[in-house]
Amino acid sequence: MIRRPWRLAAEISAVLIAVVVAFPLYWMVLSAFKPAGEIQSTDAKPWTFNPSLDSFRRVFEQQEFGRYFLNSLMVAGAVVLASALIAFLAATAVTRFRFKFRTTLLIMFLVAQMVPIEALTIPMFFLMRDLGQLNTLWSLILPHIAFSLPFAIWMLRGFVKAVPEALEEAAYIDGASRTRFLWQILFPLVFPGLVATSVFSFISTWNDFLFAKSFIISDTSQSTLPMALLVFFKPDENDWGGIMAGSTVMTIPVLIFFVLVQRRLVSGLGGAVKD
C-alpha cells in the first residue's frame, strides 16, 4: 500500500522520535549514576565511564528514602485495593441491574470524573483536620479512593458488560447464589479489567504531589516520595545527582508495573474508550 522509500523514511523517523522521547529517562538514570564531578561539569556528556552509587547512597542515607518509598507504596496499594473492590461492586450494580436512577447515577459518575481534585484541596484540608487525619497516610488514602472511584466504575462497566448474560442465567439455574456468582464467576472474569483500572488509580496516587504537600505538614516521617524529592532542591545550588537518583527510584517501579500490565492496559483502554 505504501511505497518502500517512504516506509523506510517513516521507520527512521519513528526510531529517531523514540530516541528523543526516551532521552529524558535515559538522562535521568545516567545522571543518577554519574559521579558528582561530572554532574557539575558544564560540559555535560551523554555517557559516563565512572558510574557511582554516591547519589543513591545520599538519597537513602540522608533522606530515609526507604521509608518514603514504603509510605508511597502503602498509600497507592491501599487505594488500588479499596477502589478496585468498591468499583467492582458499583460497576456490577449499574451494568447488571435495572433500577430507578440508574442513568442518573451513571451521569453523576461521569461528571464526578471531571471534578478537578486540585480545586478540592482546601475543603479536603479542613475535612482531614476535622477528622484528625492531617499528617497521617489516611489523609492521602481517603481522598484518592474517592477520586479514583468514578473513573474506575466507568471503566469497569465495559468489562462487566462483556460477561455474557447467559453465563449468569446458567449460574442461577445451577443453583449458585448471587454472592457466589459475584465473587466466583464474575470477579475472575472481570479481573483483567480490574488490573487495567488499577493502573490508573495507582499512577494518580503514586504521582500525587499536591495533597502530600498540603496535608503532610509537620510530620515528615509520613511524607511520600514526591515530597522527599523536593528536599534536594535548594535555593543556591540544586543537588541534581540526588534529584535524579530519587527520581529514578520513584520512576522505576511504575515503569516495571507498566511494562507488566501493558497488554491489559491497552485492551482496557480500548474497553473504556469503546464505552
Q: Report the nearest approach of another protein to the CB of residue 88 (Å).
A: 9
The interface region with another protein, picked from 16-24, 52-60, 132-140, 189-197 by CB under 8 A, is 16-24
The interface region with another protein, picked from 48-56, 58-66, 187-195, 255-263 by CB under 8 A, is 255-263
Q: Is there binding between residue 254 and another protein (CB under 8 A)? A: yes
> Any residues with CB less than 8 A from the CB of 90 and at least 6 apart, and which?
149, 153
Q: Is there binding between residue 198 and another protein (CB under 8 A)? A: no
The interface region with another protein, picked from 52-60, 63-71, 166-174, 188-196 by CB under 8 A, is 166-174
Q: Is there binding between residue 70 and another protein (CB under 8 A)? A: no
The interface region with another protein, picked from 48-56, 63-71, 160-168, 187-195 by CB under 8 A, is 160-168
Q: Is there binding between residue 189 and another protein (CB under 8 A)? A: no
Q: Is there binding between residue 170 and another protein (CB under 8 A)? A: no
According to CB under 8 A, which one of 51, 188, 262, 263 is a site residue for another protein?
262
According to CB under 8 A, which one of 96, 185, 191, 195 is a site residue for another protein?
96
The interface region with another protein, picked from 15-23, 60-68, 132-140, 189-197 by CB under 8 A, is 15-23
According to CB under 8 A, which one of 43, 47, 50, 218 is a site residue for another protein?
43
78-112 per-residue burial string, b: 16 or more CB within 10 A, e: under 16: bbbebbbebbbebbbebbbeeeeeeeeeeeebeee
Q: Is there binding between residue 28 and another protein (CB under 8 A)? A: yes
| Residue numbers 217-246 binding another protein by CB under 8 A | 226, 229-230, 233, 240, 243-244
**Which of residues 200 and 222 has its CB atom nearest to another protein in the complex?**
200
203-219 per-residue burial string, b: 16 or more CB within 10 A, e: under 16: ebbbbbeebbebbbeee
Among 100, 263, 105, 119, which residue's Cα sits nearest to residue 192?
Answer: 263
C-alpha cell at 113: 470524573
Q: Is there binding between residue 195 and another protein (CB under 8 A)? A: no
According to CB under 8 A, which one of 107, 170, 184, 188 is a site residue for another protein?
107
Q: Is there binding between residue 173 and another protein (CB under 8 A)? A: no
**Count of residues touching another protein (by CB under 8 A):** 106
C-alpha cell at 86: 468498591
Q: Is there binding between residue 80 and another protein (CB under 8 A)? A: no
Q: Report the nearest approach of another protein to the CB of residue 230 (Å).
A: 8
CA distance 207 to 267: 23
According to CB under 8 A, which one of 56, 69, 147, 159 is a site residue for another protein?
147
